[in-house]
């Protein structure tokens, strides 16, 4: 097994959480299952990824740039497989190394959260098609109802006669929030291409800004202090920056090992660092 190691200096707020946790011997909060999607599109200069800036008032990662995503809704695990097109739950459970119910919830949450936070829907009327356009008042009403949890995602798909395109997702990574964080997530990262004809839109809510950027350009802005993001976002951007096209990213996904990365805090003098250990993909 090849192990990679990276260290990053923690910003003041996270450093404070880490010091308090290490000093107090607290019990870690159990992580909540979550999914996030790195939505990609090709440009003449290479792939761009969709990023949104979480509002400062958010309890987790406020002010940070991230990908569309969020926690698994308990109703996501009940998504009927008849409304899926592509790999089934047994395949995804093996790919993600988890129970079938968890795999069903993660895949459903990945597609649902992408629609809720970007307006992009990885679903279509047949197993080989994708909805060409998700703009308009009726689509926005359904998106808002999903966000408010007034509408279950499976009911949304059934009502519109759509099937969830699991084949449009590629599993990429798994990160678990460090033990010192008061809110923790066991997050599975997926990659997907922006479907032809669809376009993202700023839907506000949990984000106050959105942007399409090449991974290398986003990292340059982080280095310049113009953007802030948590380590999983920065590390996955570094990984994406190695690929010249979206097709190359999608082709690489099946060969990646989905093993959990659990960063830990270490204190060196007056500084707190985040040590990232994980099996190399």
* Digit-coded pLDDT (tens) for 203-229: 766 667 899 999 999 999 999 989 988
Report the pLDDT value the prediction gives residue 24, as an integer from 0 to 100: 76
When pLDDT is averaged across residues 106-126 and rounded to a whole number, the result is: 96
What are the tens digits of pLDDT across the range 130-185? 999 998 999 999 999 999 999 999 999 999 999 999 999 999 999 999 888 888 99
**Looking at the predicted structure, is the pLDDT value of residue 236 above 70?**
yes
Residue 114 has pLDDT above 90, yes or no: yes
Report the DSSP beta bridge partners of residue 11: none
In the predicted structure, residue 281 carries a pLDDT above the cut 60: no
Question: Average pLDDT of 7-23?
Answer: 75
Give residue 280's pLDDT: 46
> What does the block give as tokens for 6?
């990276």
CA-atom Rg of the chain in angstroms? 18
More confident residue, 281 or 119: 119
pLDDT exceeds cutoff 90 at 128: yes
pLDDT, tens digit, 9 for 90 and up, residues 193-210? 999 999 998 776 666 789
Q: What percent of the chain has pLDDT over 90?
A: 63
CATH architecture of 29-261: Alpha-Beta Complex (3.90)
- Collapsing DSSP to helix, strand or coil, 256 comes out as coil
pLDDT digits (tens, 9 = 90+) for 78-105: 766 668 899 999 999 999 999 999 999 9
According to the model, what pLDDT value does residue 157 have? 93
**Mean per-residue pLDDT of the chain:** 88
Torsion over CA: 53, 206, 211, 43 (sign):
positive
Q: At 38, phi and psi to the nearest 5? A: -90, 95
When pLDDT is cut at 50, 70 and 90, the band that residue 3 belongs to is very low
CA distance 153 to 178: 30
Domain residue spans of the chain? 29-261
Has residue 7 got a pLDDT over 90? no
pLDDT at 205: 67
pLDDT interval class at 56 (50, 70, 90): low
Kindly state the tokens that stand for 188.
Answer: 């599975």
- By CB atoms closer than 10 A (0-12, 13-18, 19+), residue 225 is exposed
Whether the CB-CB separation of 3 and 267 falls below 8 Å is answered with: no
Is 117 within 8 Å of 203 (Cβ atoms)? yes
The alpha carbon dihedral of 161, 164, 167, 169 has a sign of positive
Around 251, how many Cα atoms within 13 Å sit in the side-chain half-sphere? 7
């Amino acid at each position: 097994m090849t192990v990679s190691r990276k260290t990053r200096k923690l910003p003041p707020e996270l450093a404070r959480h880490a010091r308090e946790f290490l000093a107090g011997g607290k019990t870690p909060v159990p992580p909540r299952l979550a999914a996030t999607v790195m939505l990609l599109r090709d440009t003449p200069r290479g792939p761009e990824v969709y990023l949104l800036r979480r509002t400062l008032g958010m309890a987790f990662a406020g002010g940070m740039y991230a990908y569309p995503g969020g926690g698994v809704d308990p109703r996501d695990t009940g998504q009927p497989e008849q409304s899926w097109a592509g790999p089934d739950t047994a395949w995804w459970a093996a790919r993600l190394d988890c129970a079938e119910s968890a795999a069903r919830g993660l895949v459903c949450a990945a597609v649902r959260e992408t629609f809720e936070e970007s307006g992009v829907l990885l679903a279509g009327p047949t197993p080989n098609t994708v909805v060409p356009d998700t703009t308009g008042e009726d689509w926005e009403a359904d998106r808002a109802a999903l966000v408010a949890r007034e509408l279950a995602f499976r009911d949304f798909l059934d009502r519109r006669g759509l099937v969830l395109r699991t084949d449009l997702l590629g599993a990429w990574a798994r990160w678990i929030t460090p033990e010192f964080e008061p809110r923790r997530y066991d997050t599975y990262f997926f990659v997907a291409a922006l479907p032809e004809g669809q376009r993202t839109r700023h839907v506000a809510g949990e984000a106050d800004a959105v942007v399409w950027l090449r991974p290398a350009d986003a990292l340059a802005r982080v280095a310049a202090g113009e953007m802030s993001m948590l380590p999983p976002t920065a590390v996955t951007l570094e990984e994406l920056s190695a690929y010249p096209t979206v097709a190359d990213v999608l082709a690489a996904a099946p060969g990646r090992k989905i093993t959990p990365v659990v960063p830990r805090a270490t204190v060196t003098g007056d500084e707190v660092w985040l040590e990232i250990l994980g099996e190399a993909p």
